[in-house]
Chains A and B, each alone.
Chain A
Amino acid sequence: MQSTWYPINMSRFKIRRRSRREAHLGDLVFSYLLRLLSLGLALLLLMIGFFLFRGAFASISRFGWDFITGSVWDPVQEIFGSAPVLYGTLVSSLIAVIIAAPLSVGIALFLNELAPPLISRSIGFLIEMLAAIPSVVYGLWGIFVLAPSLRTRVEPALVKYLGWIPLFSGPFYGVGMLAAGLILSIMIIPTIFSLSREIFRTIPMAQREAALALGATRWEMMKISVLRSSKSGIGGAIILGLGRALGETMAVTMVIGNRAEISASLLAPAQTMASVIANEYAEASNDIHLSSLIEIGFLLFVVTFIINGFARIFILRESKS
């Protein structure tokens, strides 16, 4: 029989039969290629850690633990203690989470449980748009809109009525820890919101109906059957939001005032890990200054690594149960 007119080359079947495991040379090459790319992705993560560590080595060997505990950051004297910067990162992110977490979970609840579909879809879309705005645009808005209105309206009132609390005392400039925390809170709302909404969506309808059938009001239903059963998932979402706030750079750099000092007042200028890197890399005249900045980067890398690992464990546990 003539085999040439067959659309399929019959001889290939023979080869296949002979060695079933050796599928096809192209397949082998292709699968190894993809494997190489994927392995490269994992290696990239290791490389980032390694290169940052190498760059930070001069600073690590010179300052040791003093780098973390030292409270003076003075590039001129070549004294690098990052405690003020760590403090700034922690406090600004905490402000952001304290504001954004209840807001985002509330929005997710409202849109998922109460709002009619049209409103739910359009508000959900708008909130997700918040995530699409580039961070430098947030910064621009922060400098020219948020900070001036804080300085002229909000902060005078805070000092007047709450000035007896150290948090709201002292001189104010508009830019500072409070402005950074506020802008961060806006930026992490979409992160926490979309994750919480995903989690709420996975809760079966029957669970809500059961609560309502027992006579619960709408709010009680949300409390009993929605919030209670998604506690650890929401925890994970909040931690992911925190992770995003910790590393956010541009917007924070533009509104935090950039002064590496620990101050009790939220109105005072401060500095975060990301903002100190963005601010000082250009003027890092000597190697030890540069190395210190890279060490800050390395610390930030390790912290976000741990935090995100944690959050994923939280969310994983949620999806398994």
Chain B
Amino acid sequence: MNHTVLTEHMTKKYQQRKITNRVMIGLLASASCIALIPLLSIFIYVLAQGLPGLNLNFFTQLPQPIGETGGGMANSIMGTLTLILTASLFGIVWGVGTGLFLSEYPPGRLSNVVRFSADLLSSIPSIIIGLFVYTLIVIPMRRFSLLAGAVALGIIMIPTLARSTEELLRRVPVHVREAGLALGLPRWKVILRIVLLGNSRAISTGIILAIARVSGETAPLLFTSFNNQYWQRGIDQPTSSLPVQIYTYAISPYEDWHQQAWTGALILVSLVFMMNMMTRYLLSPRRSSK
């Protein structure tokens, strides 16, 4: 008698646990689906709204004044490319150099400080970097400029690159370096020629990721390179860029400009995704085990 009650109680308890289990697993699975909804929605809208405005003019024409239809974002696309190129000039050297220092030299107090600063620097909101460059370059020069924008983007690249270079080079086995040293090569040559060039594919994925990250940055460019409705004239002049142009058009009240903003977003998203895909391709196991 007592025994049956106990078993009944346990069966009930077990049923409850099983139900909880089912419910929780269902919740976890639906969490994954919920998170995909905004992603899909963004994709669909960027494609559906952006594609109609996609034509050759978009890549070759300057923006038209309000009221006139047509025109494109040729200057913004060029501006973004110029900004990225200029930023890369010093951002890559500085970032990769710091990464080399962190991975190739014995750990010490300096490398700990540098690693910590790189982590903090990469988590500082990009708008703060923009504000910093604004007080550093724009105020003394009394004008917005391509230079200022490029410096801001470069600074954002540095910590990401430093940490990714360090991570990637740590995976290089020690005997590779020892082999170089055993040949009598000086250390700097071993580092540059063997460690760095020998892993150029891995390093380049880090670089592409850093570029992909900054190419969508808008906030720091607002105070530094600002915007420009014409072609870029010099490094000390304000320049247009794709993200800032999208922002300007998106908050405007004109239907035409909204269309342009969506098409701009389509270009920007495809650019960033292409770069991300490229790194995946470069790092895929099939290629790296050559």
Contacts and interface: CB of A to CB of B under 8 A. Distances in A.
Contacts of A13: 184
* 10 nearest CB pairs, A to B: A247-B125, A134-B216, A30-B188, A106-B31, A217-B21, A110-B28, A249-B219, A34-B101, A219-B24, A37-B97
Interface stretch (B1-9, B52-60, B81-89, B257-265): B257-265
A130 to B, nearest CB: 6
B100 interface: yes
A123 interface: yes
Given A138-B42, A143-B250, A250-B247, A8 B184 contact: yes
B174 interface: no
Interface in A170-206: 186, 189, 193
A301 B101 contact: no
A294 B105 contact: no
Interface stretch (B66-74, B127-135, B199-207, B232-240): B127-135
B126 A44 contact: no
Interface of A: 8, 12-13, 23-24, 26-27, 29-31, 33-35, 37-42, 44-45, 47-48, 51-52, 54-55, 102-104, 106-107, 109-111, 114-115, 123, 126-127, 129-130, 132-141, 143-145, 186, 189, 193, 217-220, 222, 240, 243-244, 246-250, 254, 274, 277-278, 281-282, 293-294, 297, 300-301, 304-305, 308-309, 312
Contacts, number: 251
Contact of B265 (A55, A137, A297): A137
B246 A37 contact: no
Contacts of B42: 133, 137-138, 141
B222 A133 contact: no
Contacts of A189: 35
Contacts of B127: 247, 249, 274, 277-278, 297, 300
A145 B123 contact: no
A134 B272 contact: yes
A103 B32 CA distance: 8
Given A219-B21, A220-B21, A136 B251 contact: no
20 contacts: A8-B184, A23-B186, A23-B187, A41-B162, A44-B121, A45-B121, A47-B132, A48-B129, A52-B132, A103-B35, A123-B36, A129-B39, A130-B38, A137-B246, A144-B250, A186-B38, A219-B21, A281-B223, A297-B127, A297-B131
B287 to A, nearest CB: 18
Interface class of chain A by DSSP = helix
A243 B46 contact: no
A281 B220 CA distance: 12
A48 B128 contact: yes
B98 A134 contact: no
Nearest to B192: A30
Contacts of A42: 113-114, 117
B29 to A, nearest CB: 6
